[in-house]
Amino acid sequence: MSHDTENRQYEQRRVEKVVEVINNKEENLEARSAGLKQSVVELRKTFWDDVTVNLEEMDDIIETQESIKQQAAILSQKEQFHGKISAEIQTLQRLRNAPYFGRFDFIEEPGTEKESLYIGIASLMDQDEEDFLVYDWRAPISSLYYDFSPGPAHYQTLDSTISGEMTLKRQFIIKQGVIEGMFDTGITIGDELLQQALGNNASTSMKNIVATIQKEQNKIIRNERSKLLIVQGVAGSGKTSAALQRIAYLMYRYREELHADNIVLFSPNPLFSSYISNVLPELGETNVRQMTFLDYLKNGIGGNLTIESPFEQMEYVLTQTESEHYPIRMKNMDYLSTIDFMQLIDAFTSDLNGSGIQFKPIKFRGRTLIDQGQIGEYFYSLDKEIAIPNKMEMVSKWLLQELSKYQQQEIAEDWVMEQIELLDKEDYMRAYQRAEEKMQSSTVQDEEKILRRYMVKRFFQPLKKRVKQFAFVNILATYQQLFTEWNTKELPNNWQDIRAQIATDLSQKFLTWENATPYLYFKGRLLGDSADRSVRQLIIDEAQDYSAFQFAYIKHLFPYTRMTLLGDVNQAIYTHVAKENPLIPVEHVESHERITLTKSYRSTKQIVDFTTYFAPGHEPIEPFNREGSKPELINLQNENEWMTTVLTCVEEQLKKGNETIALICKTLEESEQIYHLLQDKLPIHLVNEETYTFEKGVLVLPIYLAKGIEFDAVIIPDASADHYSLESDKSLFYTACTRAMHALTILCRQEISPFIKLVPKELYDVKE
């Protein structure tokens, strides 16, 4: 018997023993869980039977309260224990299929015994709970597996650095408890494992990469020291996957103090949020708060204004070039995205401390109680040295005091009794009970008085709530003054053109995407920012698409939060607004670190080689050695054959077994056109801004909604020069091409894009 066969048999026997331990543990836990669940159900049923209730004397009341507390604590403890057992069972179920994916042998000191350690998605102890059968991939010692080849190695514990020698590094592909692949490797992760992992069809969700984490990705995952971690990663380099594993690692490392509610992930769109939603649950962690930056702005601004989405802005930029307002709008995008504009808002706000803030009257039942002039007079009577948000708090308290006076006056008004007569039985009884509680003798007069107070209080409550929310401040009207009346020496040269267009938009209660963040920033300068100080970790994906203003605003909101920025300057599709890209190295930023990922794992070597020639940035791109067919260019001689050719390309990819085929268009307008032409000819899904779930099949979508997602095959329906020729189009075209894992087909209806002409002809096949 060969040495390899002996090793394989030994490892298979070990897998079987580990699976046996898993099954035994699960069986024991299931029995305990069933008993505990029954105990919880019984305790809920008999809760009050075991509580001593006596409310006659104060001592008895205290004793009753303690009895209830004690019984509730017992119930809570049992429920928590039941939840813990359920979580352990779920972990065992995840481990049963593939208990581990790696092994390394480590000798801590010369002369000491070799120790074999196995790495999986969770830790597993033996039946006696004495020794580890599997180490969690996030444990300190597991870093050896990702960071070192056989030879000298070390890892960091909480207290010190442990050094030694790695004598073996072995990788496994285990499915349903059977070893399907096993090999020893001298590099971080063997090509064989990656080839198998990457050679499969694209999934409808992001893959869990813990078994194939590379050394450079591990640096991202285990980075704990940087307040600002900047990750520049080429398309398909696994930066988003590594960021999600980073979240899982941090939640494991700081499990006593860092929870899902303390972490926020800004994703590029709802479809992408769906695409990555399974990664953390697969690792046994709760999903963190995910939202788009658009959602965040909408929550802060409120529902009284219409906000343009970044995708609507992009659609405007790509389709409205002939509009007479287009040049002015582009200037607006440029200027409103800068730090200069943020400083202009600061100067404007500073001037408002002397005059100019617009207020709204306080009205009750159609009549004005306190007009805007009175509110303004009170505000500007306060000390100018007090910050504006603090003065707003003082105005709010003053208004609440004034409203309390009006509330008293309203009690005797006729409308109150009319409203009392309209009360339903339940409300009437509630008011009557309160009357009895507050009055020793319940005369008709006493009851009416209490009911009147109850009714007036009920009507004034919403008004007082709005006052506490500073609804008396007319933020929009005040902001409009920046673009209509206010002047300063610091205004930009083309300010007259800029301000006119924005003033028109604001008069229609419309915020363009480039103006949404400045508006919310201004609102915070007036009322105070309501930032969530509980956020400990903020991850921003596709960070290259954030403007300088947006990124500065995020830093302003989360001054004490550790941030991870992920992106690719090659895919900066919003280049017209991102003049100062946050991914570009930052000077004078305390405790920041920059990690660059240059190897692309998503696409075949042929696709990466092709796209490298028109990548907009200057970052090097290394293809992973996974072979495939060359990209195909179809240069149509007859434009009438265009749609027939597109249909043929889709059918060819389906025959090859590709499960996700994307027709990636430049705009939503183009996507909708192709969808309507093809929908009767084959099953096809149109992806738009409202698409929240990623599905397999044939999809048609604009480039800006394809970011971060991979497809088995990509078809670009029109890569003619009239579609992709401007410098700003280069990022769009590069992004579209790099979504492809296995096959890339490009159609040209007219003259081919100049970007394709940059690629040596031997790197793609031409089909006339």
Report the binding-site residues. 233-240
Residue 708: closest CA among 108, 334, 243:
243
Burial letters 221-237, b for 16+ CB under 10 A, else e = bbbeebebbbbbbbbbb
Distances (CA, A) of 24 to 30, 93, 283, 762: 10, 12, 22, 59
Q: What is the number of helices (H) and of strands (E) in the chain? A: 26, 26
Which element (helix H / strand E) includes 264? strand 263-266
Instruction: Kindly tell me the burial class for residue 101, based on how many C-beta atoms sit within 10 Å of its own C-beta (0-12, 13-18, 19 or more).
Output: buried
637 alpha-carbon distance from chain centroid: 45
Structure tokens at 186: 């001298």
Beta bridge partner(s), residue 51? none
The pair of structure tokens assigned to 211 is 């078994």
Q: Of 470, 483, 487, whose CA–CA distance to 379 is shortest?
A: 470
Question: What are the structure tokens assigned to 293, written together?
Answer: 């930056």
Q: Which residues have C-beta within 8 Å of that of residue 301, sequence separation ≥ 6? A: 307, 511, 516, 519, 520, 523
**Exposure string over 165-179, b if 16+ CB within 10 A, otherwise e:** bbeebbbbbbeebeb
Could you give the CA distance from residue 767 to residue 291 in angstroms, rounded to a whole number? 43
What distance in Å separates the CA atoms of residue 759 and residue 609, rounded to the nearest whole number? 9
Binding-site positions for ATP read 233-240
C-alpha 347/C-alpha 357 separation (Å) is: 14
Give dist(CA 506, CA 698) in Å, integer: 41
Residue 582: CB atoms within 10 Å = 23
Q: At what angle do helices 326-336 and 310-319 cross, to 10 degrees?
A: 140
Q: Do residues 140 and 146 touch, judged by C-beta distance below 8 A? A: no
Q: Is the dihedral of CA 8, 13, 16, 17 positive or negative?
A: negative
